Amino acid sequence: MNQVQDLQKHAVNVRKNIVKMVTAAKSGHPGGSLSSVEILLAIYFTQMNISEENIHSCERDRFVLSKGHCTPCLYSVLAEKGFLKEEELLTFRQINSRLQGHPSMRKLEGLDMSTGSLGQGISTAVGMALSNKIHKKPYRIYTLLGDGECEEGQVWEAAMAAAHYHLDNLLAFVDFNGLQIDGDVTKVMNPTPIDKKFEAFGWNVIMLKDGNDIEAVIRACEEAKKCEGKPTVIVAKTVKGKGVSFMENNAGWHGNAPSEEQCAQALEELDGGAK
């Protein structure tokens, strides 16, 4: 089995776990978690130099989940990576669980930043990348934003700083699924064209037509490494609720949990997609 096929199998497992953990918690954010799966798998399995051996070390790459509500995806990817046991995923959002609704770096190894307030994650990632530049460290910083998050002014202050300091060790993804909790992003507070905005702020921009194509995501990451002197953003067009028919392209599943019956249907669909 080649790398792409292996990651596609991981993607099915991640999506199933997202659905199961949000159902068990009776709360969470499945829509944007399902759209982000291939992006996080590509980062953690093909790009970051992170392992059980160096997980506590400063001498490694870092990832910041700027759209901090999409922890079901992040925790599920960490489980696939072997950083936590799969059964722990079902403690998601429970009292005293390490797996809070938004990431807490004080509770779980491998989380590099506590996030949740939109715009603060990319700001932190810029600070990490700047620190590595100052100290001449070779490690790269990765961050994932939502398209609705790009309505936050703090995102663009961070973008301006990243370009000003030539942070070519920073790679940002925008999960461009087109929907946020209140609906179509272009109707809530239109942030488009996101690519042109980042370009105007001095970033290297890569447009990805299908951010749910793991092979295409990996190619975009490799292309980003070639850019020198400026940060890179990959604006990836994805499908909200990807893989679950009744969730796909439906803003109502931004922050709702499925019923047990809906969970069973979703898992059956995902199992069918794996065949």
What pLDDT does residue 58 have? 87
What total of structural domains would you count in the chain?
Answer: 1
Predicted confidence band of residue 1 (pLDDT cuts 50, 70, 90): low
- The stretch 147-172 carries a mean pLDDT of 98
- How much is the pTM? 0.96
* pLDDT tens digit sequence for 99-148: 999 999 999 988 999 999 999 999 999 999 999 999 999 999 999 999 99
In angstroms, the CA 262 to CA 150 distance is 31
Enclosing domain of residue 67: 3-273
What pLDDT does residue 146 have? 98
- Say how far residue 249 (Cα) sits from the centre of its chain: 18
Choose among 2, 5, 14: nearest CA to 39.
Answer: 14
* pLDDT tens digit sequence for 221-231: 999 999 999 99
* CATH number of the domain where residue 157 is located: 3.40.50.970
pLDDT at 275 exceeding the cut of 60: no
What pLDDT does residue 110 have? 86
- The stretch 206-223 carries a mean pLDDT of 98
What pLDDT does residue 149 have? 98
Contact 99, 93 (CB under 8 A): yes
What pLDDT does residue 229 have? 98
Mean pLDDT, all residues of the chain: 96
In angstroms, the CA 19 to CA 61 distance is 29
- The stretch 73-80 carries a mean pLDDT of 97
